[in-house]
Amino acid sequence: MSKGLHKKFPLLALLGILLLAAALRFYGLGFQSLWNDELNTWGLSTFGEGVSGVLYHFNREGIGVHPPAYYLLIHFTVQLLGESEWALRLPSALAGFLSVLATYLLGRRLYSWREGLIAALLVAVLWTPVYYSQEARMYSLLLLFATLATYFWVSVARSLDREERPRLLAVSGYVVAAAVAAYLHYFGFYLVALQGLWTMMVYARRPGTLAYTLVVYGLIVLAYSPWLPALFNRTGQGSGTIEHIARPGLDTFVDYAVFVFSRSPVFAVVALALYLFLPYKKLYPLYKDEGLSGTRRALRTPGLMLVLWLTVPFAGAYVVSLIWTPILEPRYLIVSLPAAYLLVARAVTQLPVRPMVQATAVALGSVLLLAQLVFLMDYYTEPSKEQIREGVEFVAENERPSTLLAYCAGVRVAFFNYYLVQEGADERFGVRACTSASELERAIGRGNSRYVGFVASREPEAAVTRYLRNELELVREANLVGADAYLFEVPEAAHS
């Protein structure tokens, strides 16, 4: 490799990684149906007029489990681009693409361009960041702003460690990125709080640096102050959780590892082996040879910071979930993904082999991970989300005169009608039949309905199933991924 090409290699490699990341995120944005949570995103973002209307509905309905920033973003996205799956998921895809660049910049700031490129490549091809880049939820943006917040936080912390005034750009970037992360998700607020605690414990040693630290976090608290009452309210009532989150057990550790490492046990084992090599190679000599001063030095190393970033958010949420209320959901811990991949990247660059061998191993590993995503998981060819769209298309295509549309799902009926609007169907879903068949029976009688179109993205209770199977006549059905659709005929006897 010529000297000029060698200097340009990091930039060329980064451009190649970014092109790959863009292809994996923007291709097939509308392939999957919107599922339950994505339909909730659409509903919360479109009800009401303007920002005040969205916020009013968001708080009045009591379903704002997360802070409102993402829903406001989707509100404006819908106004600009419409309500298609592609449009709703576009902000996540853009954030996922930028997360690759942000990870590279963070890796270069902590170590060098080599670690930055390896970590960026992992973010580009692994299932976890790709999946959330194609979902109309806040997690891809949370990943981006958690990475950006840490990027600026490192600069601020290093200035404090040298007992210097942090640069205005670093402080401004950190305050903005941290506030946005906190407004996106409570785990974003959690990460920023942990960074503040670490700054106070390790870097703010003298009155001058302590004053700077208080100013920085005071600005973040000030920016977040409009939402603090809601945070305290949810914390006090335990209502910031979601019903389906169970108390953690030993298997939660496995779930976390699988989530971080692209649902691949093999990659998880390889990453664990690299993690075990890295502390022995870099951290152990500090403790062995330098005693207490080495310990203090270790507290300021990027490696230990990354280890804590990876483990402490999980550990804290695990403990809270055990002793108070369950809050631990793997996707909430997307705030820790950059730490996991940067540690892998650092360990690779420290392997006792030549850089060319390291690069070859990384290239081979990325090809295998890409093959896992595209071929083994069939990510772009096989549906994996609830096929609500296909279920609604089924009942719309098989609609007959005097058809009553009913459903069983976790979303509100207005959300469920999203796809009927897209299909241009005349009828609308009006009856939710999940626990009792009485309302469905009354609706059939009131409307003198001859047919019932029924879509279920969750299993109805036995009473509903018995009524449908025993009192109505099945005309046609479609068994889909995470959903089923039926067309029933109402016997003449049901009208008498």
Write out pLDDT tens, residues 398-449.
888 888 999 998 777 777 788 888 777 666 888 889 988 998 988 988 878 8
Within a domain: 383: no
Task: Specify whether 350 is located in the same domain as 419.
Answer: no
Length of the chain: 496
Residue 382 domain-assigned (yes or no): no
Cα–Cα distance, 308 to 303 (Å, whole number): 9
Give me 84's structure tokens: 């298609």
Give the pLDDT band of residue 1 (cuts 50, 70, 90).
low
Q: 130 with 162, same domain?
A: yes
User: What range does the domain containing 328 cover?
Assistant: 8-376
Distance from first CA to last CA of the chain, Å, rounded? 86
| 241 membership: H or E segment, kind and range | none
Residues 48, 90, single domain; the answer is yes
In this structure, the strands spanning 473-480 and 483-489 are antiparallel
Assigned token pair, 164: 């210097």
* Residue 292 pLDDT: 41
396's CB contacts (< 8 A; 6+ apart) are 420, 423, 425
For residue 330, what is the DSSP state?
A: G
The CA distance from 172 to 449, in Å, is 62
The 473-480 sheet, strands edge to edge:
429-432, 403-408, 451-456, 483-489, 473-480
Identify whether 97 is part of a domain: yes
Q: At what angle do helices 85-110 and 337-349 cross, to 10 degrees?
A: 40
Q: How far apart are CA 78 and CA 58, in angstroms?
A: 17
Does some domain include residue 381?
no
State how many domains the chain has: 2
Contact 395, 485 (CB under 8 A): yes
Same domain, 47 and 165: yes
- Pull the structure tokens for residue 23: 């292809």
Is 2 part of any domain? no
The answer to whether the beta carbons of residues 463 and 447 sit under 8 Å apart is no
Give residue-wise pLDDT tens across range 79-123.
999 999 999 999 999 999 999 999 999 999 999 999 999 999 999
- Phi-psi sector, 163: left (phi>0), alpha (psi -120 to 50), beta: left
The answer for residues whose C-beta is within 8 angstroms of residue 429's C-beta and 6 or more apart is 405, 406, 407, 413, 416, 417, 420, 455
Same domain, 399 and 331: no
Look at residue 21 and tell me if it is in a domain: yes
DSSP conformational letter for 166: P
Last-in-domain residue among 376, 404, 425: 376
**Between 149 and 57, the higher pLDDT residue:** 149
Nearest to 109 by CA among 79, 154, 75, 139: 154
Within a 10 A sphere around the Cβ of 273, how many other Cβ atoms? Answer: 11
Helix (H) or strand (E) holding 35: none
* Rounded distance between C-alpha atoms, residue 360 and residue 254, angstroms: 29
Cβ neighbours, 10 Å, residue 193: 15
Tokens of 355: 């850089």
Taking only the tens place, the pLDDT of each residue in 234-287 is 665 554 445 678 889 988 998 999 899 988 888 988 998 998 887 766 554 444
> How far, in Å, CA of 53 to CA of 38, rounded?
20
| Alpha helix ranges (H) inside 300-428 | 302-323, 337-349, 355-371, 388-397, 413-416, 418-423
Query: Same structural domain for residues 372 and 403?
Result: no
Residues 476, 398 contacting (CB under 8 angstroms):
yes
Same domain flag for 420 and 283: no
* Mean confidence (pLDDT) of the chain: 88
Domain-located, residue 1: no
What confidence score (pLDDT) does residue 4 get? 62
Give the CATH number of the domain where residue 425 resides: 3.40.190
325 & 397 share domain: no
Q: What residue type is 436 in one-letter code?
A: S
* In contact, 389 and 31? CB cutoff 8 Å: no
Of 376, 397, 430, the residue at which a domain comes to its end is 376
Write the CB contacts of 289 (distance below 8 Å, at least 6 apart in sequence).
Answer: none
Summarised one tens digit per residue, pLDDT across range 438-486 is 989 889 888 788 999 999 998 999 999 999 999 999 999 999 999 999 9
Cα 360 to Cα 380: distance, rounded to the nearest angstrom: 27
Is there a domain that residue 483 lies in? yes
284 and 415 fall within a common domain = no
Average pLDDT (68-75) is: 94
CA atoms within 13 A on the CB side of 261: 20
pLDDT greater at residue 489 or residue 46: 489
Same domain, 406 and 257: no
Q: Are 399 and 360 contained in the same domain?
A: no
Domain boundary among 348, 376, 404: 376
Say yes or no to pLDDT of 152 above 80: yes
CA 125 to CA 365: how far, in whole Å? 10
Q: What is the pTM of this model?
A: 0.93
Q: Does residue 453 share a domain with residue 371?
A: no
